[in-house]
Amino acid sequence: MRFPSLLVRGRLVQRYKRFFADVVLDDGRAVTAHCPNPGAMLGLNTPGLPVWLSTSDNPKRKLAHTLEMVEDGGGLVGVNTMLPNRLVAEALAAGRIAELAVYDRVRPEVKYGEASRVDFLLERDGEPRCWLEIKNVHLSRTPGLAEFPDCVAARSTRHLAELQAMVAAGDRAVALFVVQRTDCEAFSACHDLDPAFARGLDVAARAGVEVLIYGCTLSPQAITLARPLPWRR
């Protein structure tokens, strides 16, 4: 996925009210950017960190800039939680997710469970349907290890139970974690920040929910879903 234009670099002044970030650009301009991440952004919201912003010329937008990436220890970290679904859709269309390449029809936002919409429903004649949930991963507290979530994620835990129900009904179900970091070689559930989710992921996997982890390549020009990573249980 290529950005419409080259990202601009700056330094984070503060992230506040979840969806706002004050940034001083490298050219000296001070701007307020939209922060498309409702989570804690643990370790990625420290004032002074280098950040990268996209720029929109849409006159209807209140804020022209969007916080896309943070530099953490020299590596790039994607913090825009709106992007993983686009990255996965692009990879599915190109057949770059080997475990899911058999499917030829992809439907987004299909209702399932009690009150949820699955990110994608994959279908092919003669194959079991596949219910696919996408999770964005940007936390890393141990060198080389990506973790999810970075705060209590009750909604994500509920999704795991709903995926289990799809497996029990005879379908496939997949939880796909998209690691938007260039510095991680493995993934783990975050047991201390959300033990319920960590337990739920283990239970779901034992019940037949497939757990996939894919890393990304990131640059100021583009982000691409790249390769599978191992799960450290």
The domain of 211 spans: 83-228
Q: Which of 25, 59, 78 is the last residue of a domain?
A: 78
Tell whether 233 is covered by a domain.
Answer: no
Tell whether 48 is covered by a domain.
Answer: yes
pLDDT of amino acid 102: 97
Q: Does 118 lie in the same domain as 104?
A: yes
pLDDT of amino acid 113: 79
pLDDT of amino acid 5: 86
Give the separation between CA 216 and CA 68, rounded to whole angstroms.
Answer: 14
pLDDT of amino acid 116: 86
Q: Does 99 lie in the same domain as 43?
A: no
Tens-digit pLDDT profile for the chain (233 aa)? 999 888 999 999 999 999 999 999 999 999 999 999 998 999 999 999 999 999 998 999 999 999 999 999 879 999 999 999 999 999 999 999 999 999 999 999 999 877 789 999 999 999 999 999 999 999 999 999 999 999 999 999 999 999 999 999 999 999 999 999 999 999 999 999 999 999 999 999 999 999 999 999 999 999 999 999 999 98
Q: Does 36 lie in the same domain as 134?
A: no
Q: Does 222 lie in the same domain as 182?
A: yes
Token pair 């220890």 is at which residue? 73
Q: Does 157 lie in the same domain as 121?
A: yes
Q: Does 55 lie in the same domain as 12?
A: yes
In the structure encoding, which two tokens stand for residue 110, read together?
A: 């299909």
In the structure encoding, which two tokens stand for residue 92, read together?
A: 């599915």
Q: Does 168 lie in the same domain as 224?
A: yes
Q: Does 115 lie in the same domain as 73?
A: no
Query: The domain that contains 136 carries what CATH number?
Result: 3.40.1350.60
181 and 138 in contact (C-beta within 8 Å)? yes
The strand ranges marked E within the chain are 8-16, 20-25, 30-34, 50-55, 65-72, 75-78, 105-112, 116-123, 130-137, 139-142, 144-148, 172-179, 184-189, 210-218, 223-228
Q: Does 128 lie in the same domain as 47?
A: no
Tell whether 105 is covered by a domain.
Answer: yes
